[in-house]
Chains A and B, each alone.
Chain A
Amino acid sequence: MNDERTATVDPVTLSVLWNGLVSIADDMGTTLRHTAYSAAVREGDDFSTGLFDARGRLVAQGNFSPGHLGSMPWVVRHVLDHFAPGDFEPGDCILLNDSFMGSGHYPDCFMTSPLFADGGLVGFAVNIAHHADMGGAVPGSQIVDVREAFQEGLRILPVRIARGGDLREDVLRLILGNVRLPDIVRGDLLAQRNANAVAAERYAGLVGKYGLDLVEAGINTILDRSEARMRELIAALPDGTWSHEDFMDDDARTGEPLRFHVEVSVDGDSIVLDWSGSSGQVEAGINSYINYTRAYSGFAVKVFTDPHLPQNEGVNRPVEIRARPGSFFNPQFPAPSSGRAINQIRMFEVVCGAFAKMRPEPAMASFSHWSNPVIGGVDDRPGRANRPFVFYDVIYGGYGGRSHKDGAEALCPVFNASNIPVEVHESQAPVCVRRLEFLPDSAGAGRFRGGCGVRKDVELLASRATVSLSGDRHRHAPPGLAGGLPGARGETVLNPAREAERLASKETRDLVRGDVLSFRLSGAGGYGPAAERGEEAVRRDLADGYVTAGAAREIYGFDTRKTP
């Protein structure tokens, strides 16, 4: 590192450069969202973007999904392990979706492109999109109920999928021949290519305007300042070790709960999160590969230090994530992992619990667990030409009560995507959403109550389909914090108006036309004793229907006759 040069970047140029780098990452995201084909990407924001320098150091990322963002630096390392710098040419795109190299399951396809200026390699653009299908046992390629990764779909180790900006038809044939929705996958791969092309042009423009020396010096300054700030924040935490644990319902195969255990150690200006005390890896598609573990651990550290820190390598330097090889959080291939997305909530909650022991604020009770069902099959309604479909859904409930206010309602927990509009879903897949509403009385009571659980009922309009369920908190209710009560447990009910069969939180089922799946998310945990909740807050909840009169009376001791 050339510190002499670092000193030469004036503050105005540095701030323009820094914002310029972040805005490139943002623009990549806009391009990806606007040119993508799958609902998950274009409506659900299930994608991320980042920018790296020629040495593979993370320089900037967009405001996207932490699981992707935290995995990205390792993706670039794996790409550089497989390609020498001299192998790259402008317009190249390298694709990978390996669970160990990427972000832990096959639908997440990372595309890395070299960036050039004046004929030289100056950096890399990376984006990741959650693809609608990558083959394997079920539509959508997310299934907990499998034994090994080979059942989960097509595994792609780093491969050059584009040259000169054009996707290679031969590689494309290999991929598209193995997926259920070749048109959509192809469209999303093109969108990923577009995003990197935008970065290539913008980054070259930046280097052209300021010169490579200045850009590199600026990046050094940015990374060093970010690191220094992170160290300062960690140093402000008390030294010591704190641990916390909680459990997931089960792994859909053994019926045994999964232990999530973290040990947080602060030593001066560095911090270690160690997951080694957790369950061992399981023969079910739910293991958290090390990149995914790193990603959400790093996310939690940032949340509890300064949420507004920049996203770059400097911030990551003082943070170390450990997990015993062969454990649930560092499984070894071919451990299956396609349903791993449901882990991140509990991972955050466990880290949150450890931090709550370290210091009282900020803290939050447990989330309402989200649900990530995928229904797939063939749309055989008249006029639909038997088109294959994948209905990918994300259903979000509330946040736990917080140390100074109620939990937010219906907000994406932890990973931060958006929901998918009912009107968009129904115009693309053979489903009819019958209802989408809050569940009264589901929230954990407390001085600050949790957010409510959510009910969403989905009816199948095709003659048959398969659903992979991915949820949790059917057995272990979301705990409250500081004396707050737990939220109501969640449940998944098949045909609530008929036989009302209760399904497990994670399982795979066949459906027929007219079947209705009713997802009822758990309520989030409360914070502080319910008796301390203000009368006005209870009255408001009653008027808005978040609590019923009975619950207001029993839990809060509220005299409903006093209601004006």
Chain B
Amino acid sequence: MLRLAIDTGGTFTDFVLRDEASRASWFAKTLSTPSDPARATLEGIDRLASVRPFRLADVAQILIATTVATNAILERKGGRTALVTTRGFRDVLIMGRSKRFDTYDLWLDKPRPLVPRRAIFEVDERIAHDGEVLQPLAPESVAAAADRIAAAGVESVAVCLLHAYANPAHERAAGDLLAERLGRPPRNRPVSISLSSDVSPRRREYERTSTVVANAYVKPIVGRFLAGLEAAFASLGFTGELRIMQSNGGLTTPALAREYPVNIIESGPAAGVLASRATGARESVEHVITFDMGGTTAKVGVIDGGEPVVTSTFEVDGVNLRKWSGLPLDVPAVELVEIGAGGGSIASARLGVVSVGPESAGAEPGPACYGRGGGRATLTDANLVLGYLDPESFAGGQIRIDRPAAERATRAQVGEPLGLDLAAAAWGVHRIANANMERALRSMSIERGRDPRDYAMVAFGGAGPLHACALARSLGVPRVIVPRGAGVASAIGLLEAERNFTVSLTRTLELDAAGAAGELAGLFAGLETRVRALAGGAGRPIAWQRHAHLRYAGQGFELRVPLPPGPIDDETPKRLREAFDSAYEGEYGYAQRDQPAEGTDWFLTGRPGEATNPGTAAKASGGGGGESGPEAAPAAGPQAGARGGEPSPRTVEADAGSDADTVPDNEGRGGREDRLAAGTGTPANEPRAGGRAPPEPAGTVTAWQPGAAGGGTWIDWPVFDRGALRAGDRLAGPAIVAEPESTTLLPAGDTARVSGEGNLVIEVSAKEPMERRERRERNA
């Protein structure tokens, strides 16, 4: 069975084709075409087919990750959106929670809302916190809002009425009225409507409004993106299953992604984290810092003990990584910090210093060196000037890059304004980009109590391996792993994902109250109906997982606690209560067993296409799990169980230095990129025949070797072709490892070996190369 994974980033689109029978994989990469993403997709498929001939008609499943939604928000390029809210509360979105993200900085500003005040309209209605209707919805006020929305030329409307989580009736009625009035003649322009009670029915009006507005804001762009893909795939005869990665690491259907695009905001990054987890597992590392740097942004995530952390709320477009600085989204996501630092980040001289990002040149027009009309100097231009990128093979050799153009832009826009020569200007851009990324790394590690020395960094994305060693050194991370296919790792991560649907509901329920068991059963039966509707095919096997947000009655924050497995019976509330007390004690040191406890939010996750495993994911009461379904093909590949079930990664022997000829066991949890081929089709991680001859560089390149105090010299760096490296090969920096989708920079002092898995495992020297040289000079 063939599966195709496509990760559409802001700058590049990455492709992985995997044959599940032989476990062989093939990679490709193309420039994204944001104005028509389907075009890049088709180009990539052609490119892939030129390496490994296949027809889309033979592909069982296509998996998509995309940053179109995130980028629309970061760049404020979403659809023109209006917000409809309760009269008297027009300014909830603009007021936010009113807290400065930095106590001592009174010069900061709040994030710019996605909807300006002029596009926020009020309707007459009011619902109380318990769902009681205090004032019925006045249809004429909705009609008036609709007329003003129509006049404003809006594409998408968000509706968030007070207390809609408790009673969605008014939102539904208002949504229907708006759709009807906006869609009928003479306008005939269907406008998509997002209701807060559908998107995120949780208490707290600002957070809910922010979430539904983000949903509405990205809906038109995501809709066009998916429609374009579906049409393109259909034209090539694709009849298989299309699935989209969600922020929480699960897969969803195109229809649901279109309706709830806020759930795919962190789609690509989530796939990247899954890929890092798989890489870490194969190298026997369970504490991983994931570092994903592409053309537009850098993303940092963490895997603790083999599991990525999932949050039920996160912020997008934050400033300096501070809480309250971004737009809150109350939807589940793999925990990540993301900053506007990528290859395309624009470099400039601002206030007398070098500034890099967050503005990005993207793929169109792209960095100056692309020669596509983008005259702005970028980080990629700086890296090209420094000699770290090969003009001939950049992005698989398909983008002609023009070094003189990079030099001109860097000199004119950074060097001359600051009085720096070309090399100093380019190195300044490189270093400032590193400093920006270091902050993101610190916030995920040190600032959250994680000692970087206990972690390995998995570096990927087109630009990640170029910056990883320097970053690891400044943070004290002792080891960097550059996975096979680092330039397309997020796409590989898609193949590691499973399909799931999570639905939730806010309802306050005292666990100690009489009748709690009955209420729980009813509540989860309702959620189960929703999951089944989402999952389609009624009779399919579904693995279930239930969670609750619990607190002691009177508190305002909740702990996420799994419900005990098995059908809900009279004992369930009591057992849930005990589980909560223990979790609370674990988290905060003390339980309050004499205090009443209550649940506020209830979550049900269904994983279709899997056999129910009663040990970990029990089905909800009345569930139909275990029946055999009409659809035979499992939604996810053989690795899927790793996430939903008990994680039991087979330990893969680490390369201890003496096993260069050993290829570890290929059984176990599977997914190892055995007999993996790079985009060129070169065999990959077969051990080098004849043992231990050191690998030969493919050539040398003159590149910048930084020295003390911003100085440095041009030296010759050996360049190795990653496709020619074999398990057990060892390299010492300075060296450059080039592969079609990515370039690894191995600074002086760092050493690398190719593991049995084909990953590049780098031991990072604790000292800056310049410090070491100075010491040597002192000693001499």
Chain A residues engaging chain B, CB cutoff 8 angstroms: 12, 15-16, 19-20, 22-23, 26-27, 31, 33-37, 39, 42-43, 45, 63-66, 165, 183-184, 187, 190, 193-194, 197-198, 201-202, 299, 302-303, 307-309, 362, 364, 396, 399, 402, 405, 408-412, 414, 416-419, 421-424, 426-427, 432, 434-438, 454, 457, 543-546
How far, in whole Å, are A287 and B127 apart by their CA atoms in the complex?
Answer: 42
Distance in Å from the Cβ of B646 to the closest Cβ of chain A? 29
Q: Is the CB of A437 within 8 A of B110?
A: no
Q: Is the CB of B205 within 8 A of A422?
A: yes
The 8 Å CB contact of B552, one of A165, A187, A193, A308, is A187
The 8 Å CB contact of B104, one of A12, A22, A302, A427, is A302
Q: Is the CB of B203 within 8 A of A427?
A: yes
How far, in whole Å, are A411 and B448 apart by their CA atoms in the complex?
Answer: 27
Q: Which residues of A contact B447 (CB under 8 A)?
A: 19, 22-23, 26
Q: Knowing that A187-B552, A364-B107 are A-B contacts, what are 4 other residue pairs whose CB atoms are under 8 Å apart, sorted by A's residue number?
A: A303-B104, A424-B556, A435-B87, A436-B89
Name which residue of chain A comes closest to B584, CB basis.
A35
Q: A23-B446, A426-B163, A546-B117 are in contact. Are A419 and B555 (CB under 8 A)?
A: no
The 3 A-B pairs with the shortest beta carbon distances in the complex, nearest first, are A435-B88, A42-B556, A307-B104
How far, in whole Å, are A438 and B324 apart by their CA atoms in the complex?
Answer: 21
Q: Map CB proximity to A onto B157-169 as digits: 1 under 8 Å, 0 otherwise.
A: 0000011010000
Q: A37-B554, A183-B554, A299-B104 are in contact. Are A16 and B88 (CB under 8 A)?
A: no
Q: Is the CB of B557 within 8 A of A34?
A: yes
The 8 Å CB contact of A399, one of B99, B106, B587, is B106
Chain B residues engaging chain A, CB cutoff 8 angstroms: 87-92, 94-100, 102-110, 116-118, 128-130, 134, 162-163, 165, 203-206, 322, 324, 442, 446-449, 451-453, 476, 552, 554-557, 559, 584, 587-590, 592, 595, 766
Task: List 10 contacting pairs A-B, 8 Å CB cutoff, sorted by A.
Answer: A16-B476, A19-B447, A22-B447, A36-B556, A37-B554, A197-B588, A408-B110, A409-B95, A424-B203, A437-B88
Name which residue of chain A comes closest to B129, CB basis.
A427
Q: Is the CB of A201 within 8 A of B589?
A: yes
How far, in whole Å, are A423 and B557 apart by their CA atoms in the complex?
Answer: 14
The 8 Å CB contact of A193, one of B88, B104, B449, B590, is B590
Q: A37-B555, A194-B589, A436-B88 are in contact. Are A422 and B162 (CB under 8 A)?
A: yes
Q: Which residues of B contact A31 (CB under 8 A)?
A: 587-588
Q: Is the CB of B103 within 8 A of A432?
A: no
Q: A12-B476, A411-B110, A437-B91 are in contact. Are A432 and B555 (CB under 8 A)?
A: no
Distance in Å from the Cβ of A518 to the closest Cβ of chain B? 12
Name which residue of chain A comes closest to B95, CB basis.
A410
How far, in whole Å, are A421 and B134 apart by their CA atoms in the complex?
Answer: 19
A-B pairs with CB below 8 Å: how many? 178
How far, in whole Å, are A129 and B97 apart by their CA atoms in the complex?
Answer: 19
B102, B106, B557: most-surrounded residue (chain A CB, <10 A): B106
How far, in whole Å, are A63 and B100 apart by their CA atoms in the complex?
Answer: 10
Distance in Å from the Cβ of A414 to the closest Cβ of chain B? 8
Q: Which residues of B contact A417 (CB under 8 A)?
A: 99
Q: A197-B590, A419-B97, A424-B204 are in contact. Are A307 and B162 (CB under 8 A)?
A: no
Q: A23-B449, A416-B99, A437-B88 are in contact. Are A194 and B205 (CB under 8 A)?
A: no
How far, in whole Å, are A183 and B552 apart by their CA atoms in the complex?
Answer: 12
The 8 Å CB contact of B106, one of A37, A303, A409, A546, is A303
The 8 Å CB contact of B98, one of A194, A198, A307, A411, is A411
Name which residue of chain B comes closest to A181, CB basis.
B554
Q: Is the CB of B109 within 8 A of A405?
A: yes
Name which residue of chain B comes closest to A541, CB basis.
B117
A26, A201, A419, A423: most-surrounded residue (chain B CB, <10 A): A423
Distance in Å from the Cβ of A519 to the closest Cβ of chain B? 13
Q: Which residues of A contact B590 (CB under 8 A)?
A: 165, 190, 193-194, 197
How far, in whole Å, are A198 and B91 apart by their CA atoms in the complex?
Answer: 38
Q: Is the CB of A422 within 8 A of B557?
A: no
Q: Is the CB of A545 within 8 A of B118?
A: yes
The 8 Å CB contact of A20, one of B95, B117, B449, is B449
Q: Is the CB of A435 within 8 A of B89?
A: yes
How far, in whole Å, are A405 and B112 apart by their CA atoms in the complex?
Answer: 14
Name which residue of chain B comes closest to A309, CB basis.
B104
How far, in whole Å, are A27 and B447 apart by their CA atoms in the complex?
Answer: 10
Q: Is the CB of B205 within 8 A of A544?
A: no
